[in-house]
Amino acid sequence: MSVRRKTTHSLRKQYERGEKIVWTTCYDATFARLVEKAEIDVILIGDSLGNVIQGHSTTLPVSVDDIVYHSRAVARGCDRPHIVADMPFMSYQANADDGLRAAGRMLKEGRAQSVKIEGGEVFAPLVRRMTQAGIAVCGHLGFTPQSVHKFGGYRIQGKSEDAATEMIKDARALADAGIHMLVLEMVPADVAKRVTEAIDIPTIGIGAGTDVDGQVLVLQDILGLNSDFKPKFVKHFASLEQSVIDALQEYKKEVRESTFPNDDFSF
């Protein structure tokens, strides 16, 4: 059976059919293969890899090289999901030329089909330049983790009427500039609904309620690989943390007892 990569065009058709678009993050080929088997639509090589892969407390230290490396690994592991590479902190904020070149690397070296940037209307000119250069761009509003220090922590965004109005204005400006999907993170559900109604492109929620056009969660959170990390919007769809510990403890026990490898596993 031939497998076709999800494209901006096929994702648009899915949105027009009213079928929710499902994203997850992923950072390596092993999990990319499983994400593909689960028929997830979009893989985000999120700068959340700074937290879940590199062990940092924020996404700020992640580099363009890091995203390119993980994006390439993911691309080797799957043929079907649409691959979105996150543009890390300071790869596009200082000037548009930097942003354009970094985005180019995501496609050329990281083999991504889209890039994602955080931030509002101020980045509309950059989105325009990227799309003019043939690069598909996703936006990200609400709680944008690269601005964690400006926000003063992990806080819900868009709570006041002024902030909600500003978010809708940002969403319109980015959509007009050419983004093809918009992530809304930690936004009150009614505000996410208003943003979704204000623009004609899919909105993808994370902590943004259900009146959006799709959802994204970090893979490690979906799988329950860290039971200590449980913000309100995260649902653990499995509890793999304990399964992994159990498997490793059983392995250790059998090695110590010399019951592994027995004849079945020996030459």
Applying CB under 6 A, which residues contact ligand KIV? 25, 44, 46-48, 86, 183, 185, 206, 216, 218
Q: Name beta bridge partners: 136.
A: 114
Report the distance separating Cα 120 and Cα 83, nearest Å: 22
Q: In this structure, which amino acid lies at residue 86?
A: D
Question: Which residue in 85, 87, 108, 110 sits closest to 99, CA to CA?
Answer: 87
Q: Select 233 or 260, whichever has its Cβ closest to ligand KIV.
A: 233
Q: Contact, 129 vs 137, CB < 8 A? A: no
Q: Active site residue: 109, 118, 121, 185, which one?
A: 185
Q: Contact, 89 vs 146, CB < 8 A? A: yes
Q: Select 75 or 84, whichever has its Cβ closest to ligand KIV.
A: 84
CB of 249 to ligand KIV, least distance (A): 30
Q: Contact, 47 vs 58, CB < 8 A? A: no
Q: Select 66 or 165, whichever has its Cβ closest to ligand KIV.
A: 66
CB of 62 to ligand KIV, least distance (A): 9
CB of 250 to ligand KIV, least distance (A): 32
Q: Select 50 or 188, whichever has its Cβ closest to ligand KIV.
A: 50
The sign of the dihedral angle between the CA atoms of 207, 114, 20, 162 is positive
* Other CB atoms within 10 A of residue 152 CB: 8
Residue 195 half-sphere exposure, CB side, CA atoms within 13 Å? Answer: 40
Residues sharing a CB contact under 8 Å with residue 138, sequence separation 6 or more, in sequence order:
84, 114, 115, 116, 117, 179, 180, 181, 182, 183, 204
Q: Select 163 or 234, whichever has its Cβ closest to ligand KIV.
A: 234
Question: Which residue in 180, 170, 196, 51 sits closest to 113, CA to CA?
Answer: 180
CB of 144 to ligand KIV, least distance (A): 8
CB of 55 to ligand KIV, least distance (A): 15
Q: Select 164 or 183, whichever has its Cβ closest to ligand KIV.
A: 183
| Closest residue to ligand KIV: CB criterion | 46
CB of 41 to ligand KIV, least distance (A): 14
* Other CB atoms within 10 A of residue 69 CB: 16
What burial letters (b/e) apply to 89-98, b meaning 16+ CB within 10 Å? Answer: bebbbeebeb
19 included as an active-site residue: no
Residue numbers annotated as active site: 185
